[in-house]
Amino acid sequence: MVMGLFIADTVGLVLAFCNTATFVLLLYSFLTVAGVRRSKVYRALDRILGPVLAPLKRLTGGLRFDPSPLIAAALVQLIAFAVRKNGL
């Protein structure tokens, strides 16, 4: 569990990772929509998340808005919910 700022067990560590991953995915999605593709932050996130999101981008096709980061964030939160509910 997460106790204050300290992670006390494996479940807390997984939940912290899931929450951080969700934040990064939402930040990437925001930067994509805002059109800030020249920033260093966007380029770094694109370099890291591009290969991870590529299969989702192929599934969603050529939509005008790319929902793949939002879908990935939702999947990560589903994993976090399952871990929180069942433990590890």
Average pLDDT over residues 5-29: 88
pLDDT at 56 over 70: yes
Residue 73 has pLDDT above 90, yes or no: yes
Q: Which two tokens stand for residue 10?
A: 């494996």
Q: Is the pLDDT of residue 2 over 50?
A: no
Confidence of residue 5 (pLDDT cuts 50, 70, 90): low
Give kind and range of the element (H or E) at residue 8: none
The pLDDT score that the predictor gives to residue 35 is 86
Q: Residue 43 is encoded by which pair of tokens?
A: 């380029």
Give the pLDDT of residue 6: 59
> Residues of the chain with pLDDT > 70: what percent?
90
